[in-house]
Amino acid sequence: MVPAVDSLGPPMVNAPRMNVAAEATRSLAIRFGAGRASNGQGEEGIEVALPVPVLAGPATERIASMTPGQCKRLEHGRFQVLRHPDRLAGIAVCPIDGDLEAQSYACYRDLFALLGEDQHAYRVWHYVPQINELSGGLENYRIFNIGRRRAFDDHFGALAESQMPAASAVGAPDNRFVMAFVAGSETPRYLENPHQTPAYHYPQSYGPKSPSFARAAVADSMIYISGTASIRGHETVHQGDLHSQFDVTLENLNQLAQALGFASWIAVTEQPGYNLKVYLRHPRDLERLRPRLEEALHAEEGNTTILHTEICRADLDLEIEAMFSRPASF
Ligand code: 3EB
């Protein structure tokens, strides 16, 4: 029997191996397409509304679910948190007062304080306002990367690069920086893609400090695939060519599937809880891309949310991420 799956996202923690009503878990969720970024204070968990337009699929993404018995809600620094004895999930919604580097640094410091000595970040999502605009001559994504890397270096020192979670970083349509994470006390396995330079080793031509993330993470009951795009080595390829960008993105997903021990991405699509998020820079690309998403990634209305956002590199039009239940044999 396979774990329960619903259209809002994969079950995560202690998911009973049968269908359960949503009330039976407390979840951390992001509701896209909503008015302005806001903090939800739901009885059952945490739901944050984020005004990123939804082009297709479920508008609510549940990034973590926990059994209510041992689950506590708390606030720490900028984060609202759900804490379970060995799992943790949180979200921060931070107004930007012109200093994105300070906000990204502070959010990561809060995260590391929450993790303490024996927990690890598995997956982090970032929504960065005006991600491709310049502030003081530097692109906001690159400014964000400076604060993130400084936080890793300050906290982990020489071990920083071995502690970087799976991640994604895309635009946000208002002036709030949003960061959400899933973490826990199992030591995750972080993976790289042999066809891509590790992001934390990108050359300085992409910014003074490299991005701090791994390409995938295997942890607890889940496998998390980072935002994946048309990058070979460290270079964007096929600028302005949607279909070729999709081809390279698919190659990269296949590489990650194989690094994980699957025959190909098709085998990944058969995993319980298989769920995709697609970020599109241009809504006009939706209908051109849809048949390819369906054929190559087995995207369906219920398992794939397509969002209209900017992507962290101005020359990318497409980014795809995934999560799914970890097979028992892993
Ligand atoms: C890339 O491969 C594309 O900065 O956290 C993907 C996933 C990307 C995560 C991040 C950036 C991030 O470099 C962009």
55: confidence class by pLDDT, cuts 50, 70, 90: very high
264: confidence class by pLDDT, cuts 50, 70, 90: very high
CA separation for the pair 31, 48 (Å, rounded)? 6
Nearest to 224 by CA among 233, 232, 213: 213
Going by CA atoms, what residue is nearest to atom 13 of ligand 1? 199
Tell me how far CA of residue 127 lies from CA of 124, 131, 139, 151, in angstroms: 10, 8, 15, 18
Q: Measured in angstroms, how far is the CA atom of residue 2 from the centroid of ligand 1?
A: 31
CA separation for the pair 182, 86 (Å, rounded)? 11
Domain boundaries defined on the chain = 20-325
- For residues 33 and 52, is the Cβ–Cβ distance under 8 A? yes
294 assigned to active site: no
Nearest to 277 by CA among 56, 33, 84: 56
DSSP 224: E
pTM for the predicted model, two decimal places: 0.92
Q: Tell me, what's the pLDDT at 10?
A: 44
The ligand 1 site (C-beta within 6 Å) comprises 126, 167-169, 199, 211, 213, 226-227, 229, 231, 312
39: confidence class by pLDDT, cuts 50, 70, 90: low
Q: Name the CATH superfamily for 20-325.
A: RutC-like (3.30.1330.40)
**β-pairing verdict for 166-172 and 120-129:** parallel
Q: Measured in angstroms, how far is the CA atom of residue 133 from the centroid of ligand 1?
A: 17
Farthest CA pair distance, the chain: 55
Angle at 270 between CA 308 and CA 124, to 5 degrees: 45
CA separation for the pair 276, 293 (Å, rounded)? 10
> Which of 3-12, 23-32, 74-83, 155-164 is predicted with the least confidence, judged by mean pLDDT?
3-12
- For residues 92 and 99, is the Cβ–Cβ distance under 8 A? no
pLDDT digits (tens, 9 = 90+) for 100-145: 999 999 999 999 999 999 999 999 999 999 999 999 999 999 999 9
- For residues 209 and 200, is the Cβ–Cβ distance under 8 A? no
Percent of the chain at pLDDT above 90?
Answer: 85
Q: What is the mean pLDDT of the chain?
A: 92
**146 C-beta neighbours (distance < 10 Å), count:** 18
User: Which positions ≥6 away from 256 have C-beta within 8 Å?
Assistant: 191, 193, 215, 216, 225, 228
Beta-bridged to residue 311, according to DSSP, are 170
Containing 208, the helix (H) or strand (E) segment is none
The token duo for 206 is 């992409």
Place of tokens 């995934």: 322
Q: Measured in angstroms, how far is the CA atom of residue 172 from the centroid of ligand 1?
A: 15
Active site residue: 139, 161, 310, 319, which one?
319
Position in ligand 1 atom list of the atom nearest CA 145: 4
The token duo for 50 is 């984020």
**235 C-beta neighbours (distance < 10 Å), count:** 15
Residue among 226, 232, 255, 318 whose CB has most ligand 1 atoms within 8 A, to mutate: 226
Place of tokens 């891309």: 289
- For residues 26 and 40, is the Cβ–Cβ distance under 8 A? no
pLDDT digits (tens, 9 = 90+) for 213-246: 999 999 999 999 999 999 999 999 999 999 999 9
Beta-bridged to residue 183, according to DSSP, are 88, 121
CA separation for the pair 141, 122 (Å, rounded)? 21
Q: Measured in angstroms, how far is the CA atom of residue 54 from the centroid of ligand 1?
A: 20
